[in-house]
Amino acid sequence: MGYAWKGASVTRLMPTEESVELMALVEDFAARELAPRAAADEAAGVFPRDALRDMGELGLLGLPFDAAYGGAEQPYEVTLQALEELARAWLSIGVSVSVHYLACFPLAAFGTAEQRDRWLADMVGGSLLGGYCLSEPHSGSDAAALTTRAVRDGDAYVVNGTKAWITHGGRADFYSMMVRTSDDGARGITCLLVDGASGGLTAAAPERKMGTQSSPTAQLILDDMRVPADRLMGAEGGGFTVALAALDAGRLGIAACAVGLAQAALDAAVAYAGERRQFGHPINEFQGVAFMLADMATAVAGARALYVEAARLKDAGLAFGTMAAMAKLAATDAAMKVSTDAIQVLGGAGYTQDFPVERYFREAKALQIVEGTNQVQRMVIGRALARARSSS
Ligand SMILES: Cc1cc2nc3c(=O)[nH]c(=O)nc-3n(C[C@H](O)[C@H](O)[C@H](O)COP(=O)(O)OP(=O)(O)OC[C@H]3O[C@@H](n4cnc5c(N)ncnc54)[C@H](O)[C@@H]3O)c2cc1C
């Protein structure tokens, strides 16, 4: 038996009364503190660290993590729906929270009890904001080809190289960073928890992107950066396993953000189509428009159902990686299509900055690229199908 949460745009079945209360809190915070400033801050390129700090104090930066470290210990099914609501109000915030979870994951899942006791509560509580560093200028989709080198020197690693496209680059307090400790391909990669203020770490100027200007993205240049050896997450040489496990969960976060963005675009289109009149009628009375809205709503609901199902597999302790890739693929493609069609529904008005749909369209594009492009998601799904065929 589920509990109904009736949000601004959708009714959902939630697993507990506590999760209904959490969704109401998130919706209220998003409506009061995020939505009103999103357009202006995006236009000005403001990074909303203050809002993220407030969200940390509300417990929103630790939703899926252990209560022992100050987390809310929410199932992923609930965590992701809260993330969707944040992204519906402001995608950059949704992405920030999703990336923060991604950055906390290596310590939470692979750190020792001693390491977790030292650092996790501050990360989960949001006083420390995280970044996740896998990509490099010459290794994107082929992430295992990374060349940033870490060499052991006494009680520290000395790191040299460049990390690319880092969300919160130069603004994060810590980074979960994949580095190369041997030439043994994917087995030569190691995960380090790096202090954002480390000597030898410099951030380049933020990338000049087509959207999500409030989510800073920058290269990190590592020049003889010393990282204490006790910052090793998991085993030396086990970093690629850590990175991929983090991405399985991270892709679900991006799927939820994409659904939030698509829902915002749908809401804007539905509202406009009910107001705008042509030929003496509201345009939502024309089948050409009504069918477009119907297809948009169906795409959003389908993508939401897919990520919730993947999250339920994860919550049940079952394999969920293939389903997470499907959810990321379907949700981000849906966000691109729905935001494109939202512009069409608004006609000329949709092409102006007077309405938010042109921003949603620009923001949706990033989601088809980050945390594995949608071609990479298809590779992941295709390989799983081939494995299933050969083992049957
Ligand atoms: C806004 C933004 C934020 C990001 N944040 C982070 C972050 O916080 N941390 C981080 O580590 N990275 C981050 N990234 C990097 C992101 O993960 C990479 O951009 C992505 O993995 C693709 O890598 P690439 O850009 O090098 O493209 P490439 O790998 O060069 O790919 C170029 C094109 O070739 C296609 N392609 C490549 N190989 C294949 C193949 N085998 N089959 C079919 N098609 C293929 C790709 O799908 C793509 O269309 C971010 C990127 C962006 C744009």
Q: Is the CB of 135 under 6 A from ligand 1?
A: yes
**pLDDT tens-place string over residues 145-193:** 999 999 999 999 999 999 999 999 999 999 999 999 999 999 999 999 9
Are 176 and 103 in contact by the 8 Å Cβ rule? The answer is yes
**pLDDT tens-place string over residues 252-305:** 999 999 999 999 999 999 999 999 999 999 999 999 999 999 999 999 999 999
Nearest CA to ligand 1 atom 16: 370
Cα gap 373→293, rounded to integer Å = 27
Q: Which atom of ligand 1 is nearest to the CA of 376?
A: 47
Q: Which atom of ligand 1 is nearest to the CA of 379?
A: 42
pTM more than 0.95: yes
How much distance in Å is there from the Cα of 137 to the middle of ligand 1? 10
Q: Is the CB of 217 under 6 A from ligand 1?
A: yes
Per-residue pLDDT band for 2 (boundaries 50, 70, 90) equals confident
Q: Which residue numbers are catalytic?
A: 371
Q: Would the pLDDT of 382 be above 80?
A: yes
Per-residue pLDDT band for 389 (boundaries 50, 70, 90) equals confident
DSSP strands (E only) in the chain: 3-6, 11-14, 130-133, 149-153, 156-167, 174-180, 189-195, 201-203, 217-228, 232-233, 277-278, 281-282
**pLDDT tens-place string over residues 56-113:** 999 999 999 999 999 999 999 999 999 999 999 999 999 999 999 999 999 999 999 9
Are 86 and 30 in contact by the 8 Å Cβ rule? The answer is yes
How much distance in Å is there from the Cα of 5 to the middle of ligand 1? 36
Q: Which atom of ligand 1 is nearest to the CA of 143?
A: 21
* DSSP code string of 299-361: HHHHHHHHHHHHHHHHHTT---HHHHHHHHHHHHHHHHHHHHHHHHHHGGGGGSTTSTHHHHH
The predicted pLDDT at position 105 comes to: 96
Q: Is the CB of 370 under 6 A from ligand 1?
A: yes
Are 257 and 98 in contact by the 8 Å Cβ rule? The answer is yes
The predicted pLDDT at position 390 comes to: 79
The average pLDDT across 374-390 equals 94
Per-residue pLDDT band for 9 (boundaries 50, 70, 90) equals confident
How much distance in Å is there from the Cα of 313 to the middle of ligand 1? 27
Place of tokens 């494109």: 340
The predicted pLDDT at position 357 comes to: 98
Instruction: For ligand 1, pick from 42, 91, 95, 135 the residue to mutate: most ligand atoms within 8 Å of CB.
Output: 135
Q: Is the CB of 373 under 6 A from ligand 1?
A: yes
Burial 202-235 (b: 16+ CB within 10 A, else e): ebeebeebebbbbbbbbbbebeebbbeeebbbbe
Q: Return the ∠ at Cα 168 (arms to 164 and 174), rounded to 5°.
A: 95
* Residue 85 tokens, joined: 């609501």
Q: How far is CA 202 from the centre of its chain?
A: 24
Count of CB atoms situated within 10 Å of the CB of 313: 17
Q: Is the CB of 99 under 6 A from ligand 1?
A: yes
Instruction: For ligand 1, pick from 163, 165, 207, 378 the residue to mutate: most ligand atoms within 8 Å of CB.
Output: 165
**pLDDT tens-place string over residues 293-342:** 999 999 999 999 999 999 999 999 999 999 999 999 999 999 999 999 99
**pLDDT tens-place string over residues 189-245:** 999 999 999 999 999 999 999 999 999 999 999 999 999 999 999 999 999 999 999
Helix (H, G, I), strand (E, B) or coil at 8: coil
* DSSP code string of 272-285: HHHH-EETTEEGGG
Instruction: For ligand 1, pick from 134, 189, 212, 373 the residue to mutate: most ligand atoms within 8 Å of CB.
Output: 373
How much distance in Å is there from the Cα of 125 to the middle of ligand 1? 30
Q: Is the CB of 146 under 6 A from ligand 1?
A: no
How much distance in Å is there from the Cα of 138 to the middle of ligand 1? 10
The predicted pLDDT at position 1 comes to: 56
Q: Is 60 exposed, middle or buried (0-12, 13-18, 19+ CB in 10 A)?
A: buried
Per-residue pLDDT band for 141 (boundaries 50, 70, 90) equals very high
Nearest CA to ligand 1 atom 15: 165
